[in-house]
Structure 1
Amino acid sequence: MAASGGSESGGGASAGTAIWGRAEQQDFRSRVRGCLLGGAVGDALGAGVEFDSLAEIRTKHGQQGVTDYVPAYGRRGAITDDTQMTLFTVDGLIRAHVRRDTGAWHPPTDVHAAYRRWSATQRDWGPDERRDEDGWLAREEWLYARRAPGNACLSGLADDRMGTLEKPKNPESKGCGTVMRSAPFGLLVGWEPQLVFQLAVECAAQTHGHPTGYLAAGAFAAIVHALARGEALDTAVQRALVQLAARPGHEETTEALKQALGAVRQGMPSPDRVEALGEGWTAEEALSIGVYCALVAEDVRHGLLLAVNHGGDSDSTGSVCGNLLGAIHGETALPPGWVAEIEGRASILELADDFAMEMTQGPALHGPAAASPAWLSRYPRA
């Protein structure tokens, strides 16, 4: 796949250029759509059973567990904070690339600003008080809904100080709130893998400061990155393990990924085998379960149902699995009935297409000398 440009997560960006062919652009857009929609579908499948044990799931929904959306938050197909934060990650990454025209280039700052806009949706009644410089996503009324957000995400974004690796927010927290929002970093296909990993790590430390919390996010982003470039999932996991090995405090994340790989060889997939990997409340467990279910998936439907039918954080493990399967297969592989019913589908597709267009045709949309007024209205430089 052609690349649109490399970068660094801190200062000192290097902007490469490459020509995207039409077929490559279409393939990339399909993977972006698949990743974001797939994550939303997995999130929604798990939302109604997030706090239930496997026994409770089977009692309520039959021996096979959930096989379709079940009502959550007053409707079928409802998404949770996992998808909300993923969308704001995308928004922040687009804004970072647009702001590069001003000479400002520090993507963690732009992602942090986007997460702060998400945080406002958890406090405010609606988008009435949003400013023009907040962009279009922050004015989407359907996102102003509190869907069991994690405490570390809320507290980490409660003030305007940005957590860093040197001084992270919530230094003891390794909740899955880092992993479930980090797939979009992997969609930066023009970046080098180590920079994708680093950016995801830096942005995870804004809310979760435990090494497992932020390294699991980096590993997930690196896996998605390899998939978006057309590599196989097992190869992508092996590449992530190599990157992890060089990082202090990697042991829990490394072991969790190795357990996911090992579980593939232990026999037919089952809820019991999923539960042997954990419950998904912590970052490394959510990553392990999501990776395992994607590795053994017969198709997207099978993988997603396996990922949510367990006693644990079903929406987060479903979201991670959906991100992976969507990045592998593209949006046309997703079960159309589930896609049709997903909350916010139009907005998710709109954002996915904007991200794909920015990554492949950004120089035609904006530059230091001239820019599309419509694009700057959507993604202000401020």
Structure 2
Amino acid sequence: MTLKTPEPFSADTTTTTLTLDERITGALVGAAVGDALGGPVEGWTPEQIAERHGGRVNGVVGPWHGDEWRTARPIAPYHKGDGHVTDDTLMTHALVRVYGTVRDHLDAYAVADHLVPDLMSRPRWIPELEAEALPLQRIFLAEKWIVTRLHYGHADPREAGSGNIVNCGAAMYMAPVGLVNAAHPEAAYAEALDVAGAHQSSYGREAAGVLAAAVAAACTPDATPSSVVGTCLALAKDGTRAAIEAVCDVATGYSDFESALVPLREAVAPFDTVGPEYRAPSLGARRPSRLHSIEELPVALGMLLVGGGDYRRTVLGSVNYGRDCDSIATMSGAIAGALHGERAIPAAWVKTVADASRLDLHAPARVLTEVAREMFVRDTARRRAHETAFATLAGPR
């Protein structure tokens, strides 16, 4: 496919002047804010969202069921809304903590050795529960699977994802993998596939690799939404690649998310196993397949193109798409944030989400930036050692 280069959201905003610190901060803060904006409308259609809110969502909104959020189904007992992050951000920050402990590249064994204990043994403030609790008590069943398989089932970490429902659970928190491999999407893709093997299989695992690659590509100087999508297409396999191509091909014809909502859904529908009713999945939903894809990643990339990389337009498009829109906005927010840094994210949104969620949104970025710099030094030393060894093996030519 041929991608048109969309207009940048600001003539004086370029990616070349951004530092690693700014890109990592933009990606992690951008992901958390997107998550919080999408949470209260997750699972609904664009039409239902517009009816409920008297138009499109343009910022932080309250719970769908208002003060009855504790008991109203199907969301209860989670307080989604008012700037609360969801499990997407909880898992992202947990993975950052693993990087902060290991301070090097991760694999499936790092999930077993560090992420699982973090989820099941260390209480933290859970915004949606408005209480301190174990993260394990909040995360979705597909993430609880990690604990079941690795802690109780003693599965091989590299294969533990097999048998889990295939969804976006691994992809939604893989941005840190892309950030420690900033500007090296091939390395991000490979590392994320290894890490995600403990959690997901099939196109769920593939999406994790591609999302990490997208974030790494967005950190590249002179990166654009089109170059990010191009990198994803070069790396993605099977149904994931086909879905990204189909959605992004359609996205290039739109510059406002309102008119793109239905066309993007129609483009991804043949690859989505959940079906037209998000809350009533089809019989074949979330089963392994080489022909299918998760819905969230292709749509996030499509909205990135529709929004021209502008954080606000990209994330609001993702939010108003509905369905699993907190994860869509988490992914698109991470990529747009990596492209343009935190300055592209509305400051009022950042403050509201940080205050409401009782989270320091910048602390994980500081940790990951330090780790990324340390890892680059180690990678450079390892590469030079290999060059020396190979030169000795190869001999003079």
TM class, shorter-chain normalised? 0.7 to 0.9
Is 1:324 the equivalent of 2:335? yes
1:295 counterpart residue number? 305
Given candidates 75, 80, 86, the residue that maps to 1:80 is 86
Q: Shift of residue 256 of structure 1?
A: 1.3
Partner of 1:273: 263
How far, CA to CA, are the matches of 1:223 and 1:116 in structure 2?
A: 26
Q: Report SS of the residue matched to 2:139.
A: coil
Please name the residue that 1:156 is paired with: 146
Are 1:223 and 1:237, in contact at CA under 8 Å, matched by a contact in 2?
yes
Query: Could you tell me how far apart the structure 2 residues matched to 1:324 and 1:55 are?
Result: 26
Structure 2: distance between partners of 1:206 and 1:87: 18
Q: What letter corresponds to residue 247 of structure 2 in structure 1?
A: A
Query: What is residue 8 of structure 1 aligned with on the other side?
Result: none
Q: Which residue of 2 aligns with 1:36?
A: 28
TM-score by length of 2: 0.70
Q: How far did residue 164 of structure 1 move? A: 4.3
Aligned residues: 313
> Which residue is equivalent to 2:363?
350
How far apart are 1:361 and its partner, in Å? 5.2
Q: Which residue of 1 aligns with 2:181?
A: 189
Distance change >3 Å, CA 345–CA 361, structure 1 → 2? farther
Residues 190 and 209, structure 2, Cα contact 8 Å, conserved in 1 = yes
Q: Larger Rg: 1 or 2?
A: 2
User: What residue is the counterpart of 1:96 in the other structure?
Assistant: 102
**Cα distance, 1:25–1:115 mapped onto 2, change above 3 Å:** farther
Instruction: Find the counterpart in structure 2 of residue 180 from structure 1.
Output: 172
| Residue matched to 2:108 | 108
Kindly state the Cα deviation for residue 82 of structure 1 after the two structures are TM-superposed: 0.5
For 1:139-150, list aligned pairs within 5 A. Answer: 144=134, 149-150=139-140
Give the drift of 1:198: 1.5
Give the one of 210, 224, 227 matched to 2:215. Answer: 224
Preserved contact between residue 196 and residue 222 of structure 1 (Cα < 8 Å): yes
Q: Of 304, 309, 320, which aligns to 1:309?
A: 320
CA contact (8 A) 1:156 1:206 kept: yes
Whole-angstrom distance in 2 between the partners of 1:47 and 1:289: 16
Q: Does the 8 Å CA contact 1:34/1:330 hold for their aligned counterparts?
A: yes
Tell me, in whole angstroms, the C-alpha distance in 2 between the residues paired with 1:223 and 1:234.
11
SS of 2:296's equivalent?
A: helix
C-alpha distance in 2 between matches for 1:363 and 1:262: 35
Distance in 2 separating the partners of 1:361 and 1:300? 29
Q: Report the CA distance between 1:112 and its aligned residue.
A: 3.7
Contact 1:260 1:292 (8 Å CA) reproduced:
yes
* Superposition map of 1:253-264 within 5 A: 253-264=240-251
- Structure 2 residue 213 is the aligned partner of structure 1 residue 237: no
> d(CA) in 2 for partners of 1:147 and 1:67?
31
- Whole-Å Cα distance in 2 between the matches of residues 288 and 307 of structure 1? 11
Residue number in structure 1 paired with 2:290? none
Retained in 1: the 8 A contact 2:183–2:218? no
Distance in 1, matches of 2:348 and 2:228, equals 29
Deviations 1:192-215 (A, max 9, x none): 533321211122121212x21111
Provide closer, same or farther for how the CA distance between residues 47 and 143 of structure 1 changes in structure 2, counting only shifts above 3 A.
Answer: farther
C-alpha contact (below 8 Å) 2:96/2:367 kept by paired residues: no
Shift of 1:191: 8.1
Contact 1:157 1:207 (C-alpha < 8 Å) held by counterparts: no
| 8 Å contact from structure 2 (residues 233, 241) kept in 1 | yes
The DSSP-based 3-state class of the residue aligned with 1:357 is helix
Change (3 A) 1:223 1:191: closer
SS class of match (1:48): helix
Distance in 2 of aligned mates of 1:143 and 1:25: 41
Q: Give the match's secondary structure for 2:61.
A: coil
Give the AA of the match of 1:212: Y
Alpha-carbon distance in 2 for matches of 1:221, 1:285: 16
- 1:127 Cα deviation (Å)? 5.3
Deviations 1:83-110 (A, max 9, x none): 111111112123222xx6xxxx764322
| CA distance in structure 2 between the aligned counterparts of 1:308 and 1:38, rounded to whole angstroms | 13
Whether contact under 8 Å (1:44, 1:315) holds in the other structure is yes
Contact 2:182 2:217 in 1 (8 A): no
Cα deviation, 1:43-92, whole Å, max 9, x if unaligned, reads 1111101122222211110232x112122444511000101111111121
Gaps of 5+ in 1: 1-23, 129-140, 245-249, 365-382
What amino acid is aligned across from residue 305 of structure 1 in structure 2? L
Bigger drift between 340-349 and 282-291 goes to 340-349
CA contact (8 A) 2:106 2:191 kept: no
- Partners of 2:167 and 2:96 in 1: CA distance: 21
Contact 2:247 2:299 in 1 (8 A): yes
Partner of 1:214: 205
